[in-house]
Amino acid sequence: MTKKKGRVFSGARPTGRQHLGNYLGAIKNYVALQDTYEDTIYCIVDVHALTTVETTSELKQNTYDMTLDWLAAGMRPDESMIFVQSHIPEVMELHTFLSMVTPLGKLTDLPTFKEKVRQQPHNINYGLVGYPVLMAADIALYKAVAVPVGVDQAPHLEFTREIVRSFNYRYNTNVLVEPQMVATEVPKVLGIDGKNKMGKSLNNHIELASTPKETQERVMQMVTDPQRARLSDPGNPDVCNVFTMHKIFSDAEEVERINDECRKAEIGCVACKKLFAKNLNENLMPFRERRAEFAQDPAYVWDVLNDGADRARVIAQETLSEVKEAIGLP
Residues in contact with ligand SF4 by CB under 6 A are: 224-225, 228, 235, 237, 240, 242-243, 258, 262, 267, 269, 272-273
- The CB-of-243 to ligand SF4 minimum distance in angstroms stands at 4
Cα four-point dihedral sign 61, 42, 11, 141:
positive
Of 45 and 219, CB closest to ligand SF4: 219
- Maximum Cα interatomic distance, the chain, rounded to a whole number of Å: 79
DSSP state of 38: E
Angle, CA 25 vertex, CA 178 and CA 147 arms, to 5°: 10
Of 179 and 237, CB closest to ligand SF4: 237
Of 175 and 262, CB closest to ligand SF4: 262
Of 278 and 313, CB closest to ligand SF4: 278
- The CB-of-230 to ligand SF4 minimum distance in angstroms stands at 11
Of 161 and 228, CB closest to ligand SF4: 228
Of 90 and 225, CB closest to ligand SF4: 225
- The CB-of-229 to ligand SF4 minimum distance in angstroms stands at 11
- The CB-of-195 to ligand SF4 minimum distance in angstroms stands at 15
DSSP state of 263: H
- The CB-of-273 to ligand SF4 minimum distance in angstroms stands at 6
The answer to whether 39 and 7 have CB atoms below 8 angstroms apart is: yes
By DSSP bridging, strand 180-183 and strand 80-84 are unpaired
Terminus-to-terminus CA distance in the chain, angstroms? 46
The answer to whether 24 and 38 have CB atoms below 8 angstroms apart is: no
- The CB-of-214 to ligand SF4 minimum distance in angstroms stands at 20
Angle between helices 241-249 and 252-263 (to 10 degrees): 160
- The CB-of-275 to ligand SF4 minimum distance in angstroms stands at 8
By DSSP bridging, strand 37-44 and strand 146-149 are unpaired
CA distances from 299 to 2, 30, 45, 274, 291 (A): 34, 23, 20, 38, 14
- The CB-of-245 to ligand SF4 minimum distance in angstroms stands at 9
- The CB-of-278 to ligand SF4 minimum distance in angstroms stands at 13
CA distances from 73 to 134, 196, 280 (A): 28, 25, 15
Of 104 and 270, CB closest to ligand SF4: 270
- Phi (first) and psi of residue 37, to 5 degrees: -115, 150
Of 53 and 223, CB closest to ligand SF4: 223
Residues 6+ apart with CB under 8 A from 303: none
**At 268, which amino acid appears?**
G
Of 85 and 224, CB closest to ligand SF4: 224
* Closest-CA residue to 311 (of 140, 147, 79, 70): 79
Helix ranges (H only) for 100-187 are 104-109, 111-119, 126-141, 154-170
